[in-house]
Chain A
Amino acid sequence: MSASLGTALFEAAAFVALLTACALPLSNYVVKAMDGCPSLARRVLGPVERGCARLVGASEQDSMGPGRYLAGALALTAVGFVGLFVLLLCQGFLPCNPEELPGLPLDTAFNLAASFATNTDWQPVAGESHLSYFSQAVGLTVQNFLSPAIGLAVAFALMRGIAARSAEGLGNVFVDVIRAVLYVLLPLALIGALVGVAQGTPQTLAPYETVQLVEPVAVDAEGNVVAADDPAAVQEVTEAVVPLGPQASQVSIKQLGTNGGGFNGANSASALENPTPLTNLLQMAAIMLLPLTLVFCFGRMVADRRQGRALMVAVLVLLAAGIAALTAAEFAGTAQLAADGAVYTGSLGQPAGNMEGKESRIGTAATALWTALTTAAASGSTNGSLAGLTPLGLVVPLVFMGLGEVVGGGIGTGLASLLGFVVLTVFVASLMVGRAPEYLGKKIGPAEMRLAVIIAIAPSLVMLAGAAVLLLVPDAAAGAGASAPFGFANTLYAAVSAGANNGSALGGFEANTPWANGVLGVEMLASRVIVLACTVLLAGRFAARETSAAQVGALSTASPLFVVLLLVIVVLVGALTLVPALALGPVAEAVL
Chain B
Amino acid sequence: MALFLAATLALGVLYPLVVCGVAQAAFPWRANGSIIEVDGVKYGSALVGQSYTGMDHLWGRPTKTDARTFATKSGESLLWYGPENLSPASEEFGDVVQERVAAVRAAHPDQGENPVPSELVTASGSGFDPHISPAAAEYQVGRIAKAKGMDEEEVRAIIRQCTDRPLLGVIGEARVNVLEVNLMLDGVLKTAINR
Contact A242 B86, CB 8 Å, known A214-B57, A266-B127: no
Q: Are B79 and A1 in contact (CB under 8 A)?
A: no
Contact A1 B166, CB 8 Å, known A242-B48, A357-B122: yes
A309 partner residues in chain B, CB cutoff 8 A: none
Q: Which of A145, A213, A277, A366 has the most CB of B within 10 A?
A: A277
Q: What CA separation (Å) do A335 and B110 show in the bound complex?
A: 26
Q: Are B4 and A80 in contact (CB under 8 A)?
A: yes
- Tell me which residues from 418 to 456 in chain A have a Cβ below 8 Å from any Cβ of chain B: none
Could you say which of A1, A209, A265, A339 contacts B94, with CB atoms under 8 Å apart?
A339
Closest B residue, CB atoms, query A139: B12
A-B residue pairs, 4 tightest by C-beta: A277-B172, A349-B135, A269-B125, A507-B85
Cβ of A553 within 8 Å of any chain B Cβ, yes or no, is: no
B127 to chain A, nearest CB (A): 7
Q: Are B174 and A349 in contact (CB under 8 A)?
A: yes
Contact A210 B93, CB 8 Å, known A506-B85, A507-B83: no
B3 partner residues in chain A, CB cutoff 8 A: 52, 55-56, 58, 76, 174, 177-178
B12 partner residues in chain A, CB cutoff 8 A: 137-139, 141-142
Q: Are A83 and B171 in contact (CB under 8 A)?
A: no
Closest B residue, CB atoms, query A592: B89
Q: Are B173 and A362 in contact (CB under 8 A)?
A: yes
Q: What CA separation (Å) do A200 and B169 show in the bound complex?
A: 20
Q: What CA separation (Å) do A6 and B136 show in the bound complex?
A: 24
Q: Are A349 and B89 in contact (CB under 8 A)?
A: no
Interface string of A98-120 (1 = CB under 8 A from B): 00000000000000000000000
Q: What CA separation (Å) do A208 and B73 show in the bound complex?
A: 12
A269 partner residues in chain B, CB cutoff 8 A: 83, 124-126
Cβ of B187 within 8 Å of any chain A Cβ, yes or no, is: no
Given A237-B79, A240-B78, A385-B123, 17 other A-B residues pairs in contact with their CB atoms under 8 A: A55-B2, A58-B3, A129-B69, A129-B80, A186-B11, A194-B22, A217-B51, A225-B66, A244-B33, A246-B19, A272-B48, A334-B89, A343-B116, A356-B88, A385-B124, A391-B87, A482-B90
B98 to chain A, nearest CB (A): 6
A437 to chain B, nearest CB (A): 38
Cβ of A388 within 8 Å of any chain B Cβ, yes or no, is: yes
Q: What CA separation (Å) do A362 and B130 show in the bound complex?
A: 12
Cβ of B186 within 8 Å of any chain A Cβ, yes or no, is: yes
Could you say which of B16, B88, B133, B169 contacts A388, with CB atoms under 8 Å apart?
B88
Q: What CA separation (Å) do A145 and B80 show in the bound complex?
A: 30
Interface string of A214-257 (1 = CB under 8 A from B): 11010100011101000000010101111010101110000000
Closest B residue, CB atoms, query A197: B23
Cβ of A198 within 8 Å of any chain B Cβ, yes or no, is: yes
Number of A residues, CB within 8 Å of B? 121
- Tell me which residues from 115 to 139 in chain B have a Cβ below 8 Å from any Cβ of chain A: 115-119, 121-136, 138
Cβ of A403 within 8 Å of any chain B Cβ, yes or no, is: no
B167 to chain A, nearest CB (A): 5
B18 partner residues in chain A, CB cutoff 8 A: 190
Closest B residue, CB atoms, query A252: B19
Q: Which of B34, B82, B130 has the most CB of A within 10 A?
A: B34
Listed in ascending order, the chain B residues whose CB lies under 8 Å from chain A are 1-4, 6-8, 11-13, 15-16, 18-20, 22-24, 26-27, 30-35, 41-54, 57, 61, 65-70, 72, 76-80, 82-91, 93-94, 97-98, 101, 114-119, 121-136, 138, 164, 166-167, 169-175, 179, 182-183, 186
Q: Are A388 and B84 in contact (CB under 8 A)?
A: yes
B183 partner residues in chain A, CB cutoff 8 A: 214
A335 partner residues in chain B, CB cutoff 8 A: 94
Could you say which of B52, B79, B173 contacts A360, with CB atoms under 8 Å apart?
B173
Q: Are A200 and B126 in contact (CB under 8 A)?
A: no
A357 partner residues in chain B, CB cutoff 8 A: 83-85, 88, 122-125
Q: What CA separation (Å) do A80 and B33 show in the bound complex?
A: 31
B130 partner residues in chain A, CB cutoff 8 A: 271
Could you say which of B15, B68, B116 contacts A190, with CB atoms under 8 Å apart?
B15
Interface string of A357-370 (1 = CB under 8 A from B): 11111110011000
A196 to chain B, nearest CB (A): 9
Contact A350 B117, CB 8 Å, known A189-B15, A242-B35: yes
Closest A residue, CB atoms, query B54: A215
A579 partner residues in chain B, CB cutoff 8 A: none
Q: Are B86 and A214 in contact (CB under 8 A)?
A: no
Contact A137 B83, CB 8 Å, known A204-B23, A214-B183, A272-B47: no
Contact A142 B7, CB 8 Å, known A212-B43, A241-B70, A344-B116: yes
Q: What CA separation (Å) do A41 and B147 show in the bound complex?
A: 62
Q: Are A214 and B179 in contact (CB under 8 A)?
A: yes
Q: What CA separation (Å) do A276 and B168 show in the bound complex?
A: 13
A590 partner residues in chain B, CB cutoff 8 A: 89
Interface string of A66-81 (1 = CB under 8 A from B): 0000000000100110
Q: What CA separation (Å) do A29 and B24 show in the bound complex?
A: 32
A–B pairs, 5, beta carbons within 8 Å: A56-B3, A212-B44, A214-B186, A219-B67, A356-B122
Could you say which of A174, A351, A382 contacts B125, with CB atoms under 8 Å apart?
A382
B110 to chain A, nearest CB (A): 16
Closest A residue, CB atoms, query B93: A336
A277 partner residues in chain B, CB cutoff 8 A: 166-167, 171-173
- Tell me which residues from 300 to 354 in chain A have a Cβ below 8 Å from any Cβ of chain B: 333-337, 339, 341-345, 348-351, 354
Q: Which of A240, A264, A281 has the most CB of B within 10 A?
A: A240
B21 to chain A, nearest CB (A): 9
Q: Are B44 and A240 in contact (CB under 8 A)?
A: yes
B53 to chain A, nearest CB (A): 7
Could you say which of B52, B115, B133 contacts A214, with CB atoms under 8 Å apart?
B52
B44 partner residues in chain A, CB cutoff 8 A: 211-214, 240, 242
Cβ of A60 within 8 Å of any chain B Cβ, yes or no, is: no
Q: Are B72 and A360 in contact (CB under 8 A)?
A: no
Q: What CA separation (Å) do A391 and B86 show in the bound complex?
A: 11
